């Protein structure tokens, strides 16, 4: 089941960690301390040395795991980790990986992160999510987005840095995320920002709004679409009722400089409805299950995360992909 509000908190956790982290489990015992002594200033954590007996699986190797974690978490220079165990499981070819994770300042307690590496070498299971794994974990999703993300766009024609936004016009978090999107467009003028419709079933007006957007793009181009989209998000409360939705969408079309009657007629055609379905299918093929979500050169990022975090991730992904700032 697709959820937006309910899953938004977990989306932020994905940005922060990329993997599920369990609090304080199976950590080695800390050395005894004198409680009467003054509390020392926070210092970088020192992880206990991993035991060779904890490494019973042939794959993934410690080097492969470290490289993957660097790709996943390297944007956050305050994070540090130790690969604590890579163990066989009763399931053939599936290994359990355990990490010790901490903040370099020592202000946060060391925690444990665990995931299961699958036999294909390309995926892991973390919590209830299947996540791409390996030397180039985002390559397949990047290629798919470059081929199939054909929605309206702003910015560069080049796809060297392609940021695809999957959003629902009736999703409150999508509305809130538009401030981030506008800032990103200003800060990354050489990026290509693509909008893909992902209307959620619990939002009755979302699919119709998406079809309107398809027709606005068809008749007025990308520039008209982004004017339309901004107006719809601004008037989002009006989508709550059938009459309000009609007024809101027609008003947005007018602001985009187009004829509401023509757009309304276009929105019910098989071509418009099929375009929305194709966008939804692309989101599902990319394993996107919440809105708003960004795909940054194939890397999944919640669009409503703190702006500085999103910017850090984009800059880091550019470095990984050899994209010139």
pLDDT tens per residue, range 230-282: 999 999 999 999 999 999 999 999 999 999 999 999 999 999 999 999 999 99
pLDDT confidence of residue 41: 54
Q: Based on the domain organization, do 196 and 291 belong to the same domain?
A: yes
Where is the domain boundary, 82, 103, 137? 137
Q: Residue 140: CA atoms inside 13 Å, Cβ hemisphere, count?
A: 12
Q: Based on the domain organization, do 272 and 172 belong to the same domain?
A: yes
Q: Which DSSP letter does residue 196 get?
A: E
57 phi and psi, to 5 degrees? Answer: -100, 140
Tell which residue, 202, 132, 123, 138, has the closest CA to residue 170: 202
Q: Which range marks the domain in which residue 180 is found?
A: 140-321
Q: Based on the domain organization, do 170 and 129 belong to the same domain?
A: no
pLDDT confidence of residue 19: 40
Record the pTM: 0.85
Could you give the number of structural domains in the chain?
Answer: 2
Cα–Cα distance, 7 to 13 (Å, whole number): 10
Q: Which DSSP letter does residue 53 get?
A: G
Cα–Cα distance, 94 to 123 (Å, whole number): 10
On whether the CB atoms of residues 154 and 222 are closer than 8 A, the answer is yes
Where is the domain boundary, 93, 114, 137? 137
Q: Based on the domain organization, do 209 and 221 belong to the same domain?
A: yes
Q: Report if residue 4 sits inside a domain.
A: no
Where is the domain boundary, 72, 107, 137? 137
Q: Based on the domain organization, do 176 and 96 belong to the same domain?
A: no
- pLDDT tens for the chain, 325 residues: list them: 334 333 333 333 344 344 433 333 333 333 333 334 444 555 778 898 899 999 999 999 999 999 999 999 999 999 999 999 999 999 999 999 999 999 988 788 899 999 999 999 999 999 988 999 999 999 999 999 999 999 999 999 999 999 999 999 999 999 999 999 999 999 999 999 999 999 999 999 999 999 999 999 999 999 999 999 999 999 999 999 999 999 999 999 999 999 999 999 999 999 999 999 999 999 999 999 899 999 999 999 999 899 999 999 999 999 999 998 8
Q: Based on the domain organization, do 189 and 119 belong to the same domain?
A: no
Q: Report if residue 12 sits inside a domain.
A: no
DSSP assignment of 133-169 equals -SSSTTHHHHHHHHHH--S-EEE-S--SSEEEEEE-T
The helix (run of H) or strand (run of E) holding residue 124 is: strand 123-126
Q: Based on the domain organization, do 113 and 157 belong to the same domain?
A: no
Q: Which two tokens stand for residue 300?
A: 């999944």
Q: Based on the domain organization, do 263 and 279 belong to the same domain?
A: yes
pLDDT confidence of residue 44: 73
pLDDT confidence of residue 45: 83
Residue 180 sits in a domain whose CATH number is: 3.40.30.10
């Amino acid at each position: 089941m697709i959820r937006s509000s309910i899953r938004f908190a977990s989306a932020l956790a994905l940005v922060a960690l990329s993997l599920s982290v369990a609090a304080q489990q199976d950590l080695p015992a800390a050395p005894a301390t004198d409680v009467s002594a003054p509390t020392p200033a926070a210092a970088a954590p020192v992880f206990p040395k991993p035991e060779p007996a904890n490494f019973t699986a042939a794959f993934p190797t410690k080097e492969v795991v470290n490289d993957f974690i660097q790709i996943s978490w390297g944007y956050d220079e305050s994070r540090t980790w130790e690969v604590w165990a890579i163990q066989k499981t009763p399931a053939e070819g599936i290994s359990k990986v355990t990490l010790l994770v901490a903040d370099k300042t020592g202000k946060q307690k060391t925690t444990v992160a665990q995931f299961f590496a699958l036999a294909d070498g390309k995926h892991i299971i973390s919590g209830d999510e299947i996540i791409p794994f390996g030397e180039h974990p985002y390559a397949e999703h990047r290629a798919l987005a470059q081929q199939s993300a054909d929605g309206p766009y702003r910015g560069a024609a080049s796809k060297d840095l392609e940021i695809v936004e999957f959003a629902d016009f009736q999703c409150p978090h999508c509305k809130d995320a538009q401030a981030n999107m506008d800032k990103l467009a200003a800060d990354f003028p050489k990026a290509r920002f693509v909008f893909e419709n992902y209307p959620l079933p619990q939002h009755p007006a979302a699919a119709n709004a998406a079809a309107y957007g398809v027709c606005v793009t068809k008749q007025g181009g990308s520039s008209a679409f982004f004017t339309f989209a901004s107006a719809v998000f601004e008037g989002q409360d009006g989508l709550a009722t059938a009459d309000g939705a009609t007024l809101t969408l027609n008003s947005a079309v007018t602001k985009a400089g187009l004829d509401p009657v023509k757009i309304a007629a276009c929105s019910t055609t098989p071509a418009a409805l099929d375009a929305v379905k194709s966008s939804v299918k692309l989101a599902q093929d990319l394993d996107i299950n919440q809105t708003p979500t960004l795909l940054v050169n194939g890397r999944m990022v919640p669009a409503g995360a703190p702006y500085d975090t999103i910017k850090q991730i984009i800059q880091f992904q550019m470095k990984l992909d050899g994209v010139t700032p």
